[in-house]
Amino acid sequence: MLSRRELIKLGALSGSGVLLGEKATELLSKAEAAAQRTPGFYPLNDPENQIYSVCLQCNTGCPIKVKIYEGVAAKIDGSPYSPWTLYPHLPLGTSVEKAAKVDGGICPKGQSGLQTAYDPYRIRKVLKRAGPRGSGKWKEIPFEQAVREIAEGGKLFAEIGDERVYPGLKEVWALKDPKVMKAMKARVEEIWQEKDPAKKKALVEGFKEEFKDYLDTLIDPDHPDLGPRNNQVVFAYGRLKAGRSEFFKWFFQNGLGTVNFHGHTTVCQGSLYFTGKAMSYQLAYDEKKGEYTWTGAEKFYWQADLTGAEFVIFVGSNIFEGNYGPPLRVKEVTQGSATGKLRYVVLDPRAQKGVAHATKWIPTKSGYDAAVAFGMMRWMFAKGRFDARFLSAANKGAAKAIGEPSWTNATWLVEIDEKGFPAKLLRMSHLGMAPEVRVMDGKEVVFDHPIVLVQGKPTPVDPQSEDKPVFGDLFVDTTLNGIRVKSVLQLIREEAFSRSLEEWAELAGVEPEEIVWLAHEFTSHGKRAVVDIHRGASQHTNGFYNAFAWNVLNALIGNYDHHGGYVRASTYDITGKKAEGPFYLDKLHPNKLEPFGISIIRHEVDYEKTTLFEGYPAKRPWFPHSSDIYQEILPSAAQGYPYPVKILFHYMGSPAYALPAGHTQIQAMLDPDRIPLIVAFDIVVGDTYLYADYIIPDLSYLERWEFHGSHPNVIWKVQTVRQPTIAPIPEEVKVFGERMPLSAEAFLLALAEHLGVPGFGEKGFANGMPFRRPEDFYLKMVANLAFGEKADGSDAVPEADDREMEIFRQARRHLPPSVFDLEKWKAAIGDEGLFRRAVYVLNRGGRFQAFEKAFKPDGTLANAYGRQINLYLEKHAKSKNSMTGKPYWPLPRFFTPYTDALGQPIQDEEKGFELTLITHRWITMTKSRTISNYWLLNITPENYIAINPEDAKRLGFKDGELVKVVSASNEAGIWDLGPLGKKPMVGKVKLMEGIRPGHLAFALGFGHWAYGASDLEINGQVIKPDLRRATGIHANAAMRVDPVLKDVGLTDITGGSAVFYDSKVRLVRPTPEEARTYGEGVRRVALEG
């Protein structure tokens, strides 16, 4: 824990009661009493002093036990019930008394979480800006005033001379009738499906006539597909997990009816997620559409199962310090390496810590690693070292016949158009065969089967059929019925052979012999070899196709769903959908709105189908195959394309700090005429929310509810529960007559109460139960988890016995009644027996499948993906890039990185920017929320810019010298922070052999300008910074601004990723004044240069 001196030295913080300050002294005085006991006194091992929860110091989400002493969190350890933190983990049936004496492993960040919760810079009351956005001037206001102002709008900032009339939610919550909204949504779908421009226009006129009484609720009646004015409310979020996500959707989507609910996926590894989504579409009957189509895709990705792997290629995967995550994966790698069972290779321009025990480190050129994949494919095809049996299985029945859970479309035939483009799948009707007519949901439905060749004979294939197995011919290049066709695997082989092995090696910057060695080793372990990719492969302008290539390489050896192969996450249901109870959330909203229309980030809709289509390029990119395009939210809102935004809510995110070219995000927020109202939810005044109009204090991860889920490398079926473990830091407020801590939930409940939003209050749920408190919602989800996934209740956990119930109550004795009231918690569930089952889950911090249940005798895994894996993406082939008008390439292919929004190469090297800038993180830091953890700063007090000695010598830099990072789109090398001033990107260079020549690397998490790193003024009182939080360099502002769009960083137009690893930069010596700013916080004067 922080020392008394560390935590309270900024005692002045608490003068207004807004920040934690004085409260921390009270908490610490209780904790310090522990040190004065006898040496044998250790009450932290008692189950009554432990609450199980889930870490959120990074997104790995390790299950933890929080140990309480005298009402204060005194220590955090790993949960023994969890596969993340103990191997093998304890059975769920282990009593909490026995488990109390067993601790799992946790990383340094997890142990330091106390300092996140007890950060002296935490805010306790609502802050409203008292100066221009970004000025750092705030005043505290009563909770009720904030609710009223954000709900009603008006001249909210007249007292500081701003006479603008700001919108309120009341103004934009325009369409409230679910039936009308549903009918409008159906008509918009009809408009989008119509291809003839004249008929499309007629449908628009028909829409206006049909809904003439509601035209005032639309953003633009001439463009009804923009949707209602409700869509001018945007909710954007950073680290939001299940449970809280459903709560927020209940308010913003089901209640307010906005389509704009967007996350941060593309700042993490978006293209990896959306490659997985594209590969997971199933050709099947869609009940909603009433037709056979591509449906059922999931936003996810696969990872390596390290519990059984014998050979792993880690590509852009920081295995020992990140990558979901060290407590789980490091022990698997270490054990495997130590016993000789596991060999692994690291492909990365930087020699990460995992290189220490690797068989090889192959420093590829950033963005060119897919060339290695294609070189390996070429060798594998040439040598016949691929799993022909697996690849020949064309449907579910064939996979079942050979003992495989999954199958591919490798043998399906693709039509090649006159330009050589693989345009679409060959279907029965294309060969003159009559498509099959089936009766589905009481009506006849046509299914035009795809075609494979079976020993040269065209054969229809139903991918979902179990009783008609089809094994197709692998390599086909022929003409059928006058149509040129090729099999999917043929097309992949042609791409692999489009270059020689030497050419692939040269592209990647490696030796041909290394590719041959990799391919031979990769094909020498059966199904227990695997490629594990992460954001290092994904966050490029070609990231989607990089990920696609590596995923296909895994398919070539058929390792999907196998022990030691390629696997996905499996989680227990918390929504009640699978068992249709006991609380089926989808059916519990009494007046559920169904949002419709084009989103502000233009996702999952084809530009050409909309009424906004005006030819190519579009004003901004559209993303038909991805979502949560984090970097597009603020610039799109600021530009007002496709429509203006009125109110932006932002939760636990920091796009200004986290995104490449983050300075462009700041510029988007500065002007209230562009984005009128910005409301943020967070625990501190962070680097982005410095530019908000209001900051609503929130609960830290140790004070709130969530269900963190799992990650692909966890082969057990699990669901983790984050729950309140400490007394909340923010003040208490009253909503619906109930006392509760100020939080995001409390604020949304209060807005619902003020506005009369359905789905909240006395009979907020459709079953008549009240929804007045956060627990009314979350405990129903815990009950669903405890009940299980079978309607007859046979999948339920046991009921907690009386001893467990007493431990449950005693462990929460330090929580105030506003957080823990046993009778109110019981009432949220209703049934005593079900409540006891929920307690059983809460006492263990979740539900975890038994260790042995993950494995099957045949070498496959129990929690298999078990569906079709698409190696050809027909949906992509049939849609167009909104910037070029060309169709998306539907197969793995090598594309050169570092391109703009039009796909044009960026030639910054010709301007002298010759070094490729990449990022990484250390185990001691996340991007933005661990700078307050002084335990961690004692280990890594500052970061540096890693440079190869060859480059340093050529450029004339010495180890430890201060340099400034500049680029073609930021030649000044500064962060322009608006009214706060300018911060040069100055840092120390460190000469390292472990970085590929031509590359620079810096660790994320340092160089803040807020989060306690610069002056704050609250109620006229200046809160001084802790300059440790400003130390180090954060060079994201040097990352390339897109030269076409000019207000956002580079983007992978196919996969949506924000591009971290392509930018070309130069190092220069800072001026003396710039050098003085290093480690001194943000100067409030503009710096030259």
Q: Which CATH number belongs to the domain containing residue 917 in this structure? A: 2.40.40.20
- What's the pLDDT tens digit per position in 165-180? 999 999 999 999 999 9
47 within some domain: no
Q: Each residue of 400-415: b (16+ CB within 10 Å) or e?
A: eeeebbbbbbbbbbbb
Instruction: Map residue 286 onto helix, strand or coil.
Output: strand
Continuous segment of H or E residues that includes residue 533: strand 529-533
Q: In this structure, is residue 461 part of a structural domain?
A: yes
Domain encompassing residue 1056: 908-1076
Name the residue among 694, 783, 691 with its Cα closest to residue 744: 694
Residue with the bigger pLDDT between 36 and 648: it is: 648
Across residues 935-960, what is the average pLDDT? 97
Residues 364 and 438 in one domain: yes
- Indicate whether 552 pLDDT > 70: yes
Structure confidence at residue 1080 (pLDDT): 64
Exposed, middle or buried, 652 (CB in 10 Å: 0-12/13-18/19+)?
buried
Average pLDDT score over the chain: 95
Q: Do both 323 and 363 map to the same domain? A: yes
Domain annotation covers residue 528: yes
Q: Indicate whether 17 pLDDT > 70.
A: no
> Phi, psi at residue 1018, to the nearest 5°?
-125, 120
Confidence check: pLDDT of 1085 > 80: no
One domain, residues 465 and 340: yes
Tell me the residue type at 640: G
Q: How confident is the model at residue 42 (pLDDT cuts 50, 70, 90)?
A: confident
Please check whether residue 902 lies inside any domain of the structure: no
Considering the domain architecture, whether residues 871 and 991 belong to the same structural domain is answered as: no
Query: How many independent structural domains does the chain possess?
Result: 2
Residue 975 lies in a domain: yes
3-state secondary structure 687-728: CCHHHCCEEEECCCCCCCCEECCCCCCCCCCEEECECCCCCC
Is residue 800 in a domain? no
pLDDT tens by residue, 981-1014? 999 999 999 999 999 999 999 999 999 999 999 9
Over 567-624, what HEC string results? ECCCECCCCCCCCCCCCCHHHCCCCCCCCCCCCCCCECCCHHHCCCCCCCCCCCCCEC
pLDDT at site 3: 39
Give the pTM.
0.95
Q: What proportion of the chain, given as a percentage, has pLDDT over 90?
A: 94
Percent of the chain residues topping a pLDDT of 70:
95
Q: Hey, CA dihedral for 552, 558, 559, 560, is it positive or negative?
A: positive
Q: Is 688 a residue whose pLDDT tops 90?
A: yes
Give strand ranges (E) for 55-143.
63-69, 72-78, 127-129, 137-140
- The predicted pLDDT at position 326 comes to 92
332 and 450: one domain? yes
Spatial distance between the Cα atoms of 757 and 518, rounded to a whole number of angstroms: 59
Hey, what amino acid is at 51?
I
Residue 741 gets which letter from DSSP?
A: E
Peptide bond before residue 71 is cis, with ω within 30 degrees of 0? no
pLDDT digits over 343-399, tens only?
999 999 999 999 999 999 999 999 999 999 999 999 999 999 999 999 999 999 999
The answer to whether the beta carbons of residues 134 and 978 sit under 8 Å apart is: yes
For residue range 642-678, what is the model confidence (pLDDT) as tens digits? 999 999 999 999 999 999 999 999 999 999 999 999 9
Report d(CA 351, CA 332) in Å as an integer: 20
Q: What is the DSSP string of 835-863?
A: HHHHHHHHTTTEEE--GGGGB-TTSBBSS
Looking at the structure, tell me whether residues 448 and 493 fall in a common domain.
Answer: yes
What's the pLDDT at 1084?
Answer: 38
Regarding whether 867 and 945 lie in a shared domain, the answer is no
Same domain, 917 and 869: no
Band (pLDDT 50/70/90 cuts) for residue 33 is: low
What pLDDT score does 29 carry?
52
Let me know if residue 888 belongs to a domain: no
13-17, 565-569, 719-723, 917-921: which range is least confident on average? 13-17
723, 691 Cβ separation under 8 angstroms: no
Q: Within this chain, do residues 873 and 971 fall inside the same structural domain, yes or no? A: no
Is residue 154 domain-resident? Answer: no
Window from 145-149, 211-215, 671-675, 1073-1077 with minimum mean pLDDT: 1073-1077
Beta-carbon contacts of residue 28 (< 8 Å; ≥ 6 apart): 1, 2, 4, 7, 8, 72
Predicted pLDDT at 1079: 64
b/e 859-873 (16+ beta carbons within 10 angstroms → b)? bbbbbbbbbbbbbbb
pLDDT band, very low/low/confident/very high, at 911 (cuts 50, 70, 90): very high
pLDDT of residue 927: 82
Residue bearing tokens 């003020």: 754
What CATH number has the domain bearing residue 406?
3.40.228.10
pLDDT digits (tens, 9 = 90+) for 844-902: 999 999 999 999 999 999 999 999 999 999 999 999 999 999 999 999 999 999 999 99
Using alpha carbons only, give the angle 800, 804, 805 rounded to the nearest 5 degrees: 80
Confidence of residue 458 (pLDDT cuts 50, 70, 90): very high
Burial class (CB in 10 A: 0-12, 13-18, 19+), 170: middle
Query: Do residues 402 and 520 share a domain?
Result: yes
Instruction: Assess whether the previous peptide bond of 1070 is cis (omega < 30° from 0).
Output: no
Three-point CA angle 4, 7, 10, nearest 5°: 115
3-state percent breakdown (helix, strand, coil) of the chain, nearest 5: 35, 20, 50
Check whether residue 438 and residue 542 sit in a common domain: yes
Per the CB < 8 A criterion, the answer to whether 677 and 167 are in contact is: yes
Whether 989 and 867 map to the same domain: the answer is no
Q: Give the pLDDT band of residue 5 (cuts 50, 70, 90).
A: very low
Backbone angles phi, psi at 452, to 5 degrees: -125, 165
